[in-house]
Amino acid sequence: MDIPYTVQPRPDIGLYNAKLGIWLFLASEVMLFGGLFSAYILLRVGAAPGYWPHGWLNVWLGTLNTIILALSAITTLLAWVACKVGHFGKFKFFHACTLALALSFLCVKMYEYHDKWIHYEIKLNDGTFADGHMRENDPAKDYVKIEGRIVNDETLLYDLRSQGKIKMEELEIPRSKIVSMQNYGPWHNTFLAIYFTLTGLHALHIIGGSIVIGYLWGPGSKLWKKDPERFTNRIEVSGLFWHFVDLVWIFLFPVLYLT
Amino acid sequence: MSESHPVDFKSYFRRCVYVFIAVVCTTSLMIAASFLPHYGWPAKVAMILAIACINAFVVAGFLMHLLSEKKLIYTVLGFTVFFVAGLFVLTIYALHDFPTGTQTH
């Protein structure tokens, strides 16, 4: 038995099944990210004065990822248009571009995550704080080496934007002076917790979308020979999801990197 | 993405170029606004989010074809906007709702 309206739109609503389905799914996705954004507002407004980070994330890397995602949204649309006009070769090219751009986005994100992972805040027994990227942390040695700086006031570690260019130097810190040491993982503070949650969930969407796009580019493209209209609809639906992922980033970038 | 209109590759390509330029411009504006001196945090956030909304409108309107979609999709999105707005309003309302006697910042 054939399922009706997989290709032709329903006469009552003017949409085929998958298109209605993806819009309902995207509506639920808006609620998911909306909940997390409202959690961000709660944490941001509830933070004690001077204890919400500014300038912790690299604006230029965030901008690069914005451009990459915008380009990938465009190549997705062009892949659909290529299907619509019957140019399968162009479809293959533009979808391959989308996949390459998605991979580039994830590479930049991984670099940013790694940068946070090796960044440490070290509380010293004289009340000061050492902060910087870990260079040597061998348990057999009685010191750790970081490339960073020492500050007297912890709040100086939060607002980096107002301090201009900060001079970093290699510091050798004896373990006997260390009271506590923690990297900039999601457990470090509420900003990093919500940063990793939001961007991690977004990255999972990128990975999921890439798998679908990869399937439609590779083995799934066999459908083009049998039923080009249905295949074109699949490209449209996956494209709508991809544009949504781009839309989420359009708000994530200013909220996390710029404010 | 609408299926009811004839599709022309060249006109779509041109549209994509305009959208990309718009995205680059709005992103640059957001970055510039975030570095503006003499403005407080609330003013900057309002400016940046307003620009982000324009950016989102361009992407949703032209790339997702939301400007020429069917009525049912607008209805679904209308409900979504209503519930998300409710979520934000309730969150902001809750910011001032502390149990009696607890210390706040």
Q: Pick from A40, A57, A80: which is nearest to A160 by CA?
A: A57
DSSP state of A159: B
ipTM: 0.88
Over residues A29-36, mean pLDDT: 96
- Crossing angle of helices A59-84 and A88-117, in 10° steps, is 160
Rounded to the nearest 10°, the torsion over CA A56, A62, A64, A69 is 160
Instruction: Supply the pTM of this predicted model.
Output: 0.92
Q: Using the beta-carbon criterion (under 8 Å), do B87 and A66 form an inter-chain contact? A: no
Report the residue of chain A nearest B34, measured CA to CA.
A258
Residue A152: its pLDDT value, please?
92
Segments of chain A assigned to CATH 1.20.120.80: 29-45+55-116+188-258
Query: In degrees rounded to 5, what are phi and psi of residue A199?
Result: -75, -30
Q: What is the pLDDT of residue B4?
A: 52
Any idea which architecture A118-183 has in CATH?
Roll (2.30)
Cβ contacts of B33 on chain A, cutoff 8 Å:
258
CATH architecture assignment, domain A29-45+55-116+188-258 = Up-down Bundle (1.20)
Angle between helices A59-84 and A228-253 (to 10 degrees): 160
Distance CA A103, CA A111 (A): 12
Phi, psi of A183 (to 5 degrees): -85, 175
Q: What is the mean pLDDT of residues B90-104?
A: 76
B chain contacts of residue A35, beta-carbon cutoff 8 Å: 87
| C-alpha pair distances (Å), A81 with each of A116, B21, B68 | 40, 20, 16
Q: Are B24 and A38 in contact (CB < 8 Å)?
A: no
Q: List Cα–Cα distances, A95 to A88, A98, A220, A229, A236, in angstroms.
A: 11, 5, 12, 17, 12
Which of A45, A46, A239 has the CB atom closest to B1's CB atom?
A: A239
CA distance B82 to chain A (A): 10
The answer to whether B31 contacts A59, with C-beta atoms less than 8 Å apart, is yes
Q: Choose the closest CB to B87 out of A38, A244, A253.
A: A38
Contact B87 A35 (CB under 8 A): yes
Chains A and B form CB pairs within 8 A to the count of 134
Contact A173, A146 (CB under 8 A): yes
- Nearest-Cα residue of chain A relative to residue B70: A14
The yes-or-no verdict on residue B105 having pLDDT over 60 is: no
Pairing of strands A129-136, A143-151: antiparallel
Tokens 């440490």 -> residue? A120
Are the Cβ atoms of B20 and A9 closer than 8 angstroms? no
Q: pLDDT tens-digit profile of A220-251?
A: 999 999 999 999 999 999 999 999 999 999 99
Which residue is closest to B95 within chain A, CA to CA? A42
Show the beta-strand stretches assigned E in chain A: 119-124, 129-136, 143-151, 169-174, 178-183
Interface contact flag, A13 B9, Cβ < 8 Å: no
CA distance B89 to A219: 46
Question: B105 vs A49: CB contact, 8 Å cut-off?
Answer: yes
Gap between the Cα atoms of A101 and A75, Å rounded: 9
| End-to-end Cα distance, chain A | 55
Q: Comparing C-alpha atoms, which of A56, A70, A75, A31 is closest to residue A213?
A: A75
Facing B73 at nearest CB: one of A23, A47, A259? A23
What pLDDT sits at residue A46?
83
Q: Are A232 and A220 in contact (CB under 8 A)?
A: no
Question: Residue A28's pLDDT is what?
Answer: 97
Beta-carbon separation of B34 and A81 below 8 A:
no
3-state SS class at A136: strand
Confidence band of A80 (pLDDT split at 50, 70, 90): very high
Per-residue pLDDT tens for B76-92?
Answer: 999 999 999 999 999 88
User: Contacts of residue A70 in chain B, CB cutoff 8 Å?
Assistant: 19-20, 23-24, 59
